[in-house]
């Protein structure tokens, strides 16, 4: 095994920097998801332009064809959404692992397995809503499509031109961005915490995790932080305890490593 030079104080310092940098990464990921999924706006605009007459107006006779063409838009949304969130989960896992694995002696060969475990866990876990990640992406895509249908239908009935419709389409999308942002945050944070634990499982110097409640001090995570589950102290958990990975939506809690006493 590689020689571990880390002390508890150094390790705490690694986590303090990691949590700060990770916060910035997650902000970038939220913006990325909004941009990627936002490309649907130009797709819808192009679709309308194809059906518009010389005056930029879509005739009622075209309505059914346009609305059924939204099937393609919805399917592209799903595909883009699934790829985007999978990318975010992988990026978070690799980022977290790259920072932690070297300081706790996780071998390069174990790192690939850690990142695979994280991706599997995050994409297959059932959330409080009883859904897995791809279900949530399908739900989101369907909601955007339904809103687009409503807006386009009423505009065509009123005889509005494309120029009047474009800002309404933009608004549909803007109304949904908070859901994209929430999804990007939740999935990434779960991947981050899962990566912290999976790396610890591969390490010989970390046996326990110290859980820290989030800044908002929500009951769910404050209770976890105060709970002495193993008689090892408040907020001390095993590396296999998944209840600390996503205590509640939008939770900012996190865990740090407790170095095994034999290594101190
Ligand atoms: Zn919390």
Distance 210 CA to ligand 1 centre (A): 14
Ligand 1 centre and the CA of 212: distance in Å?
Answer: 9
The Å distance, Cα 112 to ligand 1 centre, comes to 29
Q: How far is CA 185 from the centre of its chain?
A: 4
Other beta carbons within 10 Å of 53: 10
Please tell me the distance between residue 23's alpha carbon and the centre of ligand 1 in angstroms: 15
Q: What is the pLDDT along the chain (264 residues), one digit of tens a residue?
A: 445 657 888 899 999 999 999 999 999 999 999 999 998 888 999 999 999 998 999 999 999 999 999 999 999 999 999 999 999 999 999 999 999 999 999 999 999 999 999 999 999 998 888 999 999 999 999 999 999 999 999 999 999 999 999 999 999 999 999 999 999 999 999 999 999 999 999 999 998 999 999 999 999 999 999 999 999 999 999 999 999 998 988 888 999 999 987 665
Q: Rounded to an integer, what distance in angstroms lies between the CA atom of residue 152 and that of residue 165?
A: 7
CB atoms under 10 Å from CB of 96, counted, come to: 25
> How many angstroms is it from 126 CA to the middle of ligand 1?
19
**H or E element that contains 212:** strand 206-212
Q: Which of 97, 136, 138, 140 is nearest to 117 (CA)?
A: 97
Please tell me whether residue 254 adopts helix, strand or coil conformation: strand
Q: State the distance from the centre of ligand 1 to the C-alpha of 174, rounded, in angstroms.
A: 27
Question: Under a CB-based contact definition with an 8 Å cutoff, are residues 190 and 176 in contact?
Answer: no
* Distance of CA 244 from the midpoint of ligand 1 (Å): 10
Ligand 1 centroid distance, CA of 65 (Å) = 47
The residue behind tokens 């990566």 is: 195
The rounded Å distance from CA 71 to ligand 1 centre is 38
Give residue 127's pLDDT.
83
What pLDDT, on the 0 to 100 scale, is given for residue 1? 45
What's the rounded Cα separation, in Å, for the pair 37 and 206? Answer: 39
Tokens of 225: 């932080």
> Going edge to edge, which strands form the sheet with 254-259?
236-238, 206-212, 254-259
CB 207 within 8 A of CB 109: no
Residue 174 forms beta bridges with which residues? none
Q: Which residues contact 17 (CB under 8 A, 6 or more apart)?
A: none
Comparing C-alpha atoms, which of 5, 19, 10 is closest to residue 255?
19
Q: Which residues pair with 161 in a beta bridge?
A: 57
Scanning the structure block, which residue is given the tokens 């838009």? 73
Ligand 1 centroid vs 248 CA: distance in angstroms? Answer: 6
Residue 251: partners with Cβ closer than 8 Å, 6 or more residues away: 189, 214, 218, 220, 221
Whole-number Å distance, alpha carbon 99 to ligand 1 midpoint, is 23
Amino acid 3: pLDDT: 53
243: CA distance to ligand 1 center in Å? 12
- Residue 7 is predicted with a pLDDT of 87
Distinct helix (H) and strand (E) counts, the chain: 7, 3
Whole-structure pTM value: 0.91
Tell me the sheet residues that pair with 244. Answer: none
């Amino acid at each position: 095994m590689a020689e571990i030079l880390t002390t508890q104080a150094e390790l705490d310092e690694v986590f303090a920097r990691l949590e700060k940098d990770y916060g910035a990464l997650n902000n970038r990921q939220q913006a990325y998801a909004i941009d990627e999924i936002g490309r649907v706006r130009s797709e819808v605009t192009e679709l309308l332009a194809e059906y518009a007459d010389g005056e930029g107006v879509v005739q009622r006779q075209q309505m059914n064809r346009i609305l059924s063409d939204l099937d393609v838009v919805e399917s592209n949304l799903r595909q883009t959404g699934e790829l985007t969130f999978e990318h975010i989960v992988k990026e978070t896992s690799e980022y977290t692992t790259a920072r932690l694995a070297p300081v706790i002696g996780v071998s390069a060969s174990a790192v690939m397995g850690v990142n695979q475990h994280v991706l599997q866990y995050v994409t297959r876990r059932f959330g409080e809503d009883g859904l897995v990640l791809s279900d949530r992406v399908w739900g989101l895509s369907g909601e955007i499509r339904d809103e687009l249908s409503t807006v386009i239908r009423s505009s065509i009935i009123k005889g509005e031109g494309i120029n009047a419709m474009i800002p309404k389409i933009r608004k549909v999308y803007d109304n949904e961005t908070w859901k994209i942002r929430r999804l990007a945050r939740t999935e990434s944070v779960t991947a981050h915490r899962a990566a912290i634990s999976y790396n610890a499982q591969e390490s010989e110097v970390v046996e326990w995790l110290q859980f820290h409640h989030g800044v908002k001090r929500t009951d769910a995570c404050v209770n976890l932080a105060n709970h002495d589950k193993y008689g090892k102290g408040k907020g001390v958990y095993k590396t296999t305890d998944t209840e600390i990975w996503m205590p509640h939506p939008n939770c900012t809690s996190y865990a740090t490593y407790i170095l095994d006493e034999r290594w101190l």
